[in-house]
Amino acid sequence: MGVQKRTDREYIIANLPDGVRRVQITEPSGKQVYKRPEDIDLNHDQIMLSLGGTPIVMRGRPGRKPKAQLKAVTPQIAEVDEARNDHISHSALLREARKDAEGDGVLNSILEAMAEESAAIEFERDEAARHGQDTANLSAKRARVLKGMADTWLKRKHQIEGGVIDIDAPAFQALFKFILETFKEAMGGAGARPELVETTFAKLVAALGEEAWKQDARLRMKDVIK
């Protein structure tokens, strides 16, 4: 492609096909990008042309093509799909996870869902037994659900017995560090001498790192939740 004159670029831009949103150009630095026609620097940008001599353009919005929304093949399938979407939208577990993925509500919803699943399997097993069918698979399936539920419950119980808050958890460590930094700034703002602030916090950090302090903190939190 030869060097274009400004008049050449003006002509190309003026005669772009309808629907063109971006035009490929080469900037003075040599970088090739797509620009909107009105953003092209007619003095410096070189418009890229195809082998046929036409400008290389982009029609439609840039970025990934939107995902096609397929319609149900039959009205019956559409009803099932609608019922499925309605069921998902009312899921307590999904609602809690979206609201606060790390909150207690998620774990509570998991336990509730596992309990419902166990009850449903129990019903299927009783019905199978009533009809003289083999119930071994259903019993094994329910046992797995109950084991998972027990493991989840024990983990939850351990957290509660530990004082609700896990002192060694990264989230708590970050929160506690923020509290200490805020207190340190407050001491400085109150006029405390820098050497006094540093000495105080050096002793405080040392004390907080001792296992005895952590044990005492857990005991105090247990007293609160009793």
Rounded to whole angstroms, how far apart are CA atoms 100 and 91?
14
Measured CA to CA in angstroms, residue 154 lies from 67, 124, 191 at distances of: 43, 27, 49
User: Does 226 have pLDDT greater than 60?
Assistant: no
The ranges assigned to domains in the chain are 6-59, 75-161, 170-225
pLDDT interval class at 4 (50, 70, 90): confident
Rounded to whole angstroms, how far apart are CA atoms 46 and 70?
42
**Global confidence as pTM:** 0.39
CB 160 within 8 A of CB 225: yes
**Lowest-confidence region among 11-20, 91-100, 145-154, 194-203:** 91-100
pLDDT digits 0-9 by tens, 57-87: 988 655 566 565 666 668 888 888 888 888 8
pLDDT value of position 65 = 60
